[in-house]
Amino acid sequence: MRKIIHVDMDAFYASVEQRDNPEFRGKPVVVGGPPNSRGVVSTCSYEARAYGIHSAMPSSRAYKLCPHAIFVCHHDFTKYKEASQVIRKIFYSYTDLVEPLSLDEAYLDVTANKVKNPSATRIAEEIRREIKKQTGLTASAGVSYNKFIAKIASDINKPDGLTVILPEEAPEFLEALPIGKFFGVGKKTEKRMHSLGIKTGADLKKLDMFTLIEHFGKAGHYFYHAVRGMDERPVEPCRERKSLGRENTFARDLLNMQDIMKELKILAEKGQEDCERLNIQAYQINLKIKYHDFRVSTRSRLSATGLNRADRILEALSPLLEKTEAGKIPLRLLGITLGRLEGETFGKMNPQLELDFHPKDILEEPGKLPP
Ligand code: TTP
Ligand code: MG
């Protein structure tokens, strides 16, 4: 039986801002685009969450929900990266089996560990204490015997909490779990699950593997095992992320070039956000267009300079756009994928990890498995 810990910092960017600006403490703080722009919320303090604000929400909506919130719009990534390096160092003092998922989150396999402590729970407590001491920030942790359960567990007593799920507690825990809490179930998958009458783990458990694969592709296989507490994925310190994709399907088809450019700008900004969060840049860009008749066209090019900022991404997209029928034929979807990724050290030995979206969005594309 393995001992896995999942550590996730609480309201990461917002907590750093509260730490460095004492006047922000105890107040609703929103980090992200300005409220009078088309930008979105990167994250917000727990005080802001009480107003219903959350990540990826348009900043304008966050402002409506809480006009007196403090908006931090020109945030300094170096501070977040610094904190991230400190917590990584703490992780590596316990084990080399560390799999970072983003700046603020990682899996650790502490089955065998450098401090010879047989209790993963005690190690998790020590790590949280050490993080607090060295960064002034709080982290939450989940402890269990696989990645899937440890990850869900870390979310349960957030912020500043620890949750341990023992093997004998897992079946009951997973059966009671709302389907949206299953790792890999985003909004779209949740809807599909609900339409199949699956609201909880217990409902999911009633379906056989064949039916699940029929509905969810490869992910069906993962769901079948996950709900039974079976997840053999190892903690992988050297994962290599290959690409980073974002796409949007529109409520109404786009024909006007101005509208198309506006949407591409939003995608490019998301691309920048991903690059910043993961500390990487791309040397290839891919544009995907789905026309109103569902024909799909993709165009790709290499870039000699690293793409990690929205303006550069947009610039690189424009010659690709010219090769399509955008502006002539209505289109229903636009997508960009950043490839040939290079970055600063992520794991100890290898800079990159494989994640196509933010972990919470994974499996929105059927058949894509979470890391
Ligand atoms: P999360 O761990 O998802 O969120 P969080 O740490 O802010 O809050 P909590 O874990 O307590 O729920 O993401 C870590 C950081 O990544 C977050 O502080 C900001 C950034 N981020 C974005 O920039 N955009 C996003 O859509 C998300 C989800 C996170
Ligand atoms: Mg976090």
Mutate to test the pocket of ligand 1, among 43, 54, 160, 277 (most ligand atoms within 8 A of CB): 43
Q: pLDDT digits over 147-157, tens only?
A: 999 999 999 99
Ligand number, closest to the Cα atom of 16: 1
Q: How far is the CA of 42 from the centre of ligand 1 (A)?
A: 6
- CB under 5 Å of ion ligand 2: residues: 8-9, 12, 104
Q: Are 133 and 127 in contact (CB under 8 A)?
A: no
Q: pLDDT digits over 202-225, tens only?
A: 999 999 999 999 999 888 998 999
Give catalytic residues, as residue numbers: 105
DSSP letters for 136-175: S--EEEEEESSHHHHHHHHHHT-SS-EEE--GGGHHHHHH
Average pLDDT, the chain: 89
User: Three-class SS string for 173-237?
Assistant: HHHHCEHHHCCCCCHHHHHHHHHCCCCEHHHHHCCCHHHHHHHHCHHHHHHHHHCCCCCCCCCCC
Query: 270 in ligand 1 pocket by Cβ < 6 Å?
Result: no
Which residue's alpha carbon is at the smallest distance from atom 23 of ligand 1?
42
Q: pLDDT digits over 345-370, tens only?
A: 333 333 333 333 333 333 333 334 45
